[in-house]
Chains A and B, each alone.
Chain A
Amino acid sequence: MSENPQANFVIVDTGCANLASVKFAVERLGFTITISDDTHVIKNADKVILPGVGSARHAMENIRAKGLVATLQQLTQPVLGFCLGMQLMARSSAEGVGKDEVVECLGLIPTDIRPLEAKTLRLPHMGWNTLTQVSDHAIFTGIKVDDYFYFVHSFAAPISEYTVARCHYGSEFSAAIAKDNFIGCQFHPERSSALGSKIIKNFLEM
């Protein structure tokens, strides 16, 4: 069970579909967590998880409709984004809109989500792939290069000063990005077996 049963963990209800699997992954570790789109609940959480699947356009529409943009931008506690949740932390995304257009995202980490340059490889990048570089960020304690994680995406954050882990699929891209209290993983920790659980545990115990 959790060493700190008083800790208050919240999953932001982005209106996307994988909320349950993220909640179950946290609960398997012995923690409790609340799914909420209430600004008060989110602001008062000790840790916040921002999940997401689907297109950036739909997700940002949901977040705007729920009036959560300012709340998420003002969070000072640790926030972990998964997959699309990571991409929403960027300034913008090219997903779900026409050519030469972008979706404005939350702007928590100054990078822009672009189509994954898979070269001749098939898209979506779907399945278990290895990390090619891992920084010493606290969520990666016990994680090393060549560990496998589950990826499902066609868009990615390019390598930048905010990259804290890398993956290679046709070209190198950010497997994780971080700035200040915000960190996002392109892969799905909740679906990456024991090592994915390790990352969630690292985050909740940070």
Chain B
Amino acid sequence: MLAKRIIPCLDVRDGKVVKGVQFRNHEIIGDIVPLAQKYAQAGADELVFYDITASSDDRVVDKSWVSRIAQVIDIPFCVAGGIKTEEDAKQILMMGADKISINSPALRDPSLISRLADIFGQQCIVVGVDSFFNQDANNGAGEYQVYQFTGDETRTQKTKWRTLDWIQEVQRLGAGEIVLNCMNQDGVRQGYDIKQLSQVRKLCNVPLIASGGAGKISHFVDVFQQADVDGALAASVFHKAIIAMDELKQTLKNEKVEIRLC
């Protein structure tokens, strides 16, 4: 059976792994390559590297670390941040990344998704969606809305898209996987946004990865059992050693979640 995936996420800024709370106050966690190696050896199923400064700074950042990661790890990894063109994507994939994830550039030019999928194959095109539940929207009934430039809080802005509409649009355009980052939950470790993920799941026929909110092992059990996501992404619980990979995976196995034990 296809296993559910546990995906440590490493936010990268200037070649260092950082972590902020609700996208703010980034602190340095450590160097990328040894951290990547550590997670691969611990039994992570995949890794995601978000270059969080890239999209909002409107610059091409040094990506040589991609190649250094590809040299040392033997599990798949995805690179996000600053990929705006076919040429950007080609460079990252040529350095050894398995997938690329686009977020703000896809909002600016949705056809980018189709062009990338056509050249590199749907399977390596991930679309990241930063979604915020806006209580005041929709005449006070609340609404999930898509945000962009979330790497830099001074430039973070709401887009015209409702999350559920954008989820359908990116699939139509050729996204091979969707990472849904639930911004209200990000970094506060109170659990994944099961309610939102369940709604998105109903409309999502490609792999769906939950992001934002993991704080303890039961949160992973809940998100797999209740929202039927394909993978769960988390950062601080792994970086701060709040959750051990082997204990997490064994617990999921005991809870009858299909998982690859290492």
Binding site for B on A (CB under 8 A): 17-21, 24-25, 27-28, 53-55, 58, 84, 121-130, 148, 150-154, 168-169, 188, 190-194, 196-197
Selected from A54, A122, A151, the residue in CB contact (under 8 A) with B206 is A122
CA distance A130 to B261 in the complex (A): 12
From A21, A58, A129, A197, contact of B119 by CB (8 A): A58
Q: Are B3 and A21 in contact (CB under 8 A)?
A: no
Given contacts A24-B96, A122-B206, A152-B98, contact A128 B122 (CB under 8 A): no
Shortest Cβ distance from B230 into A: residue: A127
The 4 A-B residue pairs whose C-beta atoms are closest, nearest first, are: A17-B93, A54-B121, A20-B96, A21-B96
Contact A128 B74, CB 8 Å, known A17-B93, A55-B121, A122-B207: no
Q: Nearest residue in B to A190 (C-beta to C-beta)?
A: B74
- With A18-B93, A188-B76 known to touch, is A126 a contact of B121 (CB < 8 Å)? no
**Given A18-B96, A54-B120: A24 in contact with B205 (beta carbons within 8 A):** no
Report how far A121 CA is from B67 CA in the complex, Å.
33
Chain A neighbourhood of B121, CB < 8 A = 53-55, 84
* With A17-B94, A24-B96, A152-B98 as contacts: A192 and B74 at CB distance below 8 Å: yes
Point out the residues of chain A lying under 8 angstroms from B76, CB to CB: 150, 152, 188, 191
Q: Taking each of B1, B122, B123, B230, which has the highest tally of chain A beta carbons within 10 Å of its own beta carbon?
A: B123
Using Cβ atoms and an 8 Å threshold, which residues of chain B touch A197?
74
- Within 8 Å CB of A122, what residues of B? 205-207, 230
Contact in complex: A152, B123 (CB < 8 Å): yes
Q: How far is the CB of A97 from chain B (nearest CB, A)?
A: 12
Q: Chain B CB within 10 Å — which of A58, A124, A197 has the most?
A: A124
Q: Which B residues are within 8 Å of any A CB, using their own CB?
A: 1-5, 40, 45-46, 67, 70-72, 74-76, 90, 93-96, 98, 118-124, 176-177, 205-207, 230-231, 260, 262
Q: Are B122 and A20 in contact (CB under 8 A)?
A: no
Bound Cα distance A169, B93 (Å):
27
B42 to A: closest C-beta gap in Å: 11
Q: Determine if A128 and B95 form an interchain contact, defined as CB atoms under 8 angstroms apart.
A: no
Question: What's the least CB distance linking A83 to chain B, in Å?
Answer: 9
Per a CB cutoff under 8 Å, which of B2, B72, B94, B177 touches A169? B2
Do A152 and B74 touch across chains, with their CB atoms under 8 A apart? no
Asked if residues A124 and B123 are in contact (CB atoms below 8 Å), the reply is yes
Q: Which residues of the other chain, B, contact A58 by a CB distance below 8 angstroms?
A: 119
Name the A residues within 8 Å of B71 (CB-CB). 24, 27-28
Instruction: Say whether chain A's binding surface is mostly helix, strand, loop, or mixed.
Output: mixed
Contacts A148-B260, A188-B76 given; indicate if A54 touches B95 (C-beta within 8 A).
Answer: no
B205 in complex: contacting residue of A84, A123, A150, CB < 8 Å? A123
CA separation between A203 and B76, bound complex, in Å? 21
Q: Which of A28, A126, A192 contacts B177 (CB 8 A)?
A: A126
Inter-chain contact B176/A196, CB cutoff 8 Å: no
A3–B231 alpha-carbon span in the complex (Å)? 40
In the complex formed, the residue of A with least CB distance to B45 is A128
Contacts of B4 in A (CB 8 A): 127
A129 to B45 Cα, complex, angstroms: 11
Chain A min CB distance to B202 (Å): 12
Interchain CB contact under 8 A, A127 and B3: yes
| Given A122-B230, A126-B207, A197-B74, A20-B95 contact (CB < 8 Å) | yes
Residues of the A chain whose Cβ atoms lie less than 8 Å from the Cβ of B74: 25, 28, 190-194, 196-197
In angstroms, how far is the closest chain A Cβ from the Cβ of B151? Answer: 25
> How far, in whole Å, are A37 and B13 apart by their CA atoms in the complex?
36
Closest to A193 in B: B74
Contact pick for B124, options A128, A152, A196, CB 8 Å: A152
When the two chains form their complex, are residues B94 and A128 in contact, meaning their CB atoms are under 8 A apart? no
Given contacts A128-B3, A128-B260, A153-B123, contact A21 B70 (CB under 8 A): yes
The answer for the CA separation of A121 and B208 in the assembled complex, in Å, is 13
Q: Is B5 touching A53 in the complex (CB atoms < 8 A)?
A: no
List of A residues within 8 angstroms of B120 by Cβ: 17, 53-54
B111 to chain A, nearest CB (A): 18
Q: Which residues of A lie under 8 Å from residue B5 when comparing CB positions?
A: 127-128
Q: What would 16 more interface pairs be, CB under 8 Å, given A53-B120, A152-B124?
A: A20-B70, A20-B94, A20-B95, A21-B98, A24-B96, A55-B121, A58-B119, A123-B206, A124-B123, A126-B123, A127-B2, A128-B3, A151-B2, A154-B123, A194-B74, A197-B74
